[in-house]
Each structure stands twice: as structure tokens, then as C-alpha cells.
Amino acid sequence: MHHTDQFTEIASFTIKRRSCLNPNGELLTERDVQPDMPRWIAIYKGMLLTRLFEQKAVRLQRTGRLGIFATAFGQEAITVTLGHTMEKEDLLCPYYRDTGALLQRGVTMDELLLYWGGDERGSLFHNDSDDFPIAIMVASQCLHAAGVAKAFQLRRQQRAVIASCGDGATSRGDFYEALNLAGVWQLPLVFVINNNQWAISVPLEQQTAARTLAQKALAAEVSCEQVDGNDCMAIYYAIREALDKARNNGGPTLIEALTYRVHEHSTADSPEYYRNDEQQRVAKRALTLDPVRRLSRFLRSQRQWNDCLENQWLRTCRIFIEKAVTRYLSVSADTPESIFRYNYASWPEVLVAQVAELNDDDQSNA
């Protein structure tokens, strides 16, 4: 007996990748990008500022004045453009590689240094936004973002939320749960995945068998695309369209920004221990895709930027950074009980006892 089954195609999907500038800074898009020139300059300046600030932060860590730091070196385009593109009323649930976005959102360098210096007061942003503190717990911010987006929807506010995370985060349950809720509730939520292809020592191919991270959105019926993550223009258009759609009840979007982590994950690791020779070569080659150089080439070809402007801006950044570092270093240490301060409006009995014990210890040590 011979059985044949009848199959009908019931759904099919494609994943698109968006690019506007090639690695030489040449335009690939038909769009009229000229009217937006001040925007490209602002993003470029934001990337330089972020790069210099992060270099300083690493030096502070190396000299014992910060606990740890994670840079976005070579992948500044995603975080800076993301912060630049959001409206003030939107809300960012950032992760630890979002220094560039937070600086764009008006978070001060002093606050960021306090945070990385282990001081809880660094999470109290005074930037007049409702942005969340930096998430260290991988993917936790995706669920927080879904909750906030649901609140905006219930209040009928025209505001969008961005959940920013890395590729490793998309391997966690929190990510899938948030994505599922975003789809089923049609939340005003944009996921921006910084796919730098490493989760500390674990390369992407050991995280997932999926050919793109964008396609993870398909199962949740969430719109998705991949963008060249070193191309500020492509990132800008993708995020702007997604935010506009979210604010106008058009539902959620997932944007996978494809880039590469050139250096270490953070100041606490060294890639030579886990990247083999070929992977080290790939990391070196990835430097040729540098988003800063790419946008610089574009701006210079348009006669919008030159060495003189560059040097002037670098000088301004350095002065700005040095002043922030001085202020950060002059902040006196918080009290030990600060580790309890932010979890509860009023402490439960068990914590009251622990705080008392801590204060006793503190006094007897003094």
C-alpha cells in the first residue's frame, strides 16, 4: 500500500536586511538623505563622544576606580542611533552596552560612572525621562519593557518602548515571553537586538540554530527585519519606522542589528582565552566595518565634516569627560545600607533586622 500526503502551503516568510551606507560610506539608498544632514552629524558626534567616554571608563576601571565596564567599541552605531531616534516621551529599557543611547537620552556621564562604580545612586537618572535603570540580568529588561508597553496601551498614551538587548539574551525565556506578549497584545514595543555574535565566550552558532535572530519574531507574529548594525542610516530608518508604527497602534517590531564584538565582553574577560586563531582574525577584520569611520567617510564626501571639525569636537569631548570624571571622583561613598534601599517602599521585618546588624557591624569596625 502506498500513501501520499497532500500538503498545501499555508504560510511563507522572508527576512529582509536593510543597508543604506556601504563600508566605504557610499550611499546605497534612493532616499533623499540631504535634509537630514544635521542628524547624521549629531549621530556621528554622539559616536565619537561615546567612544572617548568608554575609553576613559576602561582606564578608570584598570586603575581601580570603577568596578567593571562594558564598551560598545566598534558597535557604537546601534546604541547611539537608538538613543538619538527615540522621542523624549518614549521609554528605554536599556542593557549594559547602552552607554551611547543613555548619553543621547541626557543621562550624565557622572551618573554612568557612579553606576559602574557600584553606587546605586548612579541608577537615578535625572534626565527627565521615564527610562529604566541599566539591566545586568540578561533579557530581564524585555519583560519589563512588555509591562511598560502594556501600561502605555491601557492608558491610551502615544508612547513607544524600546527593549535593547544582546544576541545572547534572545536565547533566554524572558525574551521569548516578552516577544509572545508583544505579538498577542500588539504592544507598542520595539526590540532592538545588538547581535555582536558573542555572549561573553559563547559564539552565536552555539546559542542558536536560527540563521537570523530577526526570524525569532515570526512565531510571535511580530514584524521583523535585520539591519546592518554598523550603518547608522539603516538603523535610524528602521527604528524610526518601528517607533512610529508602535505609537500609532501598529504593533511591535523586532530589529536585529548585525555587528561584531571586536574587543572583550567587558573589563572582566580576555577573548584570547576563548577565541581561536580564526575567530581572532574575524574580530580583526570586523574592525574594517567600523561605524564611526563609515559615517565619517560619508560626511566628508558630502563636505559636511573635516579634520578641523573633528579635532575641535574631540577636544570638546575630552573636556566634558574630564569634568564628569572629576565630579564622579569627588562623590563621597554611600552608606552600606544602600544595598537595601531600593527594593521595597518599606522594609519587611527580616530586612530591618539585617540592616540593624549591618549598622552594628559597621560601628564595631569603625
Ligand X SMILES: Cc1ncc(C[n+]2csc(CCOP(=O)(O)OP(=O)(O)O)c2C)c(N)n1
Catalytic residues: 261, 265, 274
Q: Out of 129, 164, 194, 230, which residue is the one contacting ligand X (CB under 6 A)?
A: 194
- 196 in contact with ligand X (CB under 6 A): yes
Q: How far apart are the first and last CA of the chain?
A: 89
Binding mask 96-125 vs ligand X (x if CB under 6 A, - otherwise)? -x----------------------------
Q: Which stretch binds ligand X (CB under 6 A): 136-144, 210-218, 222-230, 240-248?
A: 136-144
Q: Which stretch binds ligand X (CB under 6 A): 125-133, 164-172, 183-191, 320-328?
A: 164-172
Cell numbers found for residue 56: 576613559
- Burial grade of 307 (CB within 10 A; 0-12, 13-18, 19 or more): exposed
Asked whether the CA dihedral 56, 230, 283, 218 is positive or negative, the reply is positive
Of the candidate spans 48-56, 195-203, 233-241, 275-283, the one that interacts with ligand X by CB under 6 A turns out to be: 195-203
Which of the stretches 2-10, 161-169, 232-240, 342-350 binds ligand X when contact is defined by CB under 6 A? 161-169
Closer Cβ to ligand X, 42 or 68, answer by number: 68
- Closest approach, Cβ 95 to ligand X, in A, equals 7
In angstroms, how far is CA 119 from the centroid of its own chain? 21
Of 41, 42, 52, 200, which lies in the binding site for ligand X, with binding defined by CB under 6 A? 200
Q: Does 268 bind ligand X (CB under 6 A)?
A: no
Q: Which helix (H) or strand (E) holds 158?
A: none
User: What would the DSSP string read from start to end of 41-83?
Assistant: HHHHHHHHHHHHHHHHHHHHHHTTSSS-----TT-HHHHHHHH
Asked if 20 contacts 231 with a C-beta cutoff of 8 angstroms, the reply is: yes
Only one residue has cell 569636537, namely 313
**Which one of 169, 235, 286, 325 is in contact with ligand X (CB under 6 A)?**
169
In angstroms and rounded to an integer, the radius of gyration of the C-alpha atoms of the chain is 22
Residues 42-101 that bind ligand X (CB under 6 A): 97
Taking the least distance from each CB to ligand X, the nearer of 198 and 328 is 198
Contact status: 167 vs ligand X (CB under 6 A): yes
Residue of 46, 100, 168, 183 that binds ligand X (CB under 6 A): 168
Is residue 144 part of the contact set for ligand X (CB under 6 A)?
no
Closer Cβ to ligand X, 94 or 252, answer by number: 94
CB of 169 or CB of 317, closer to ligand X = 169
Residue 267 C-alpha cell reads as 573589563
Q: All 3 cell numbers of residue 311?
A: 579635532
Question: What's the CA gap between 236 and 232, in Å, rounded?
Answer: 6
CB-wise, 169 or 295, nearer to ligand X? 169
**Whole-number minimum distance, CB 207 to ligand X, in Å?**
8
Q: Are 240 and 39 in contact (CB under 8 A)?
A: no
**Between 232-247 and 76-85, two packed helices, what is the crossing angle to 10 degrees?**
40
| In the complex, least distance from residue 362 CB atom to ligand X, rounded to whole angstroms | 29
Q: What is the 3-state secondary structure (H, E, C) of 233-288?
A: HHHHHHHHHHHHHHHCCCCCEEEEEECCCCCCCCCCCCHHHCCCHHHHHHHHHHHH
Under rule CB under 6 A, residue 138 binds ligand X? yes
Q: Quick one: cell of 40? A: 547624521
Q: Rule CB under 6 A: is residue 198 a binding residue for ligand X?
A: yes
Position 256 contacts ligand X (CB under 6 A): no
Region near ligand X per CB under 6 A, out of 196-204, 237-245, 279-287, 308-316: 196-204
Query: 56 or 97: whose CB is closer to ligand X?
Result: 97
Residues that bind ligand X (CB under 6 A): 97, 136-138, 165-169, 194, 196, 198-200, 261, 265
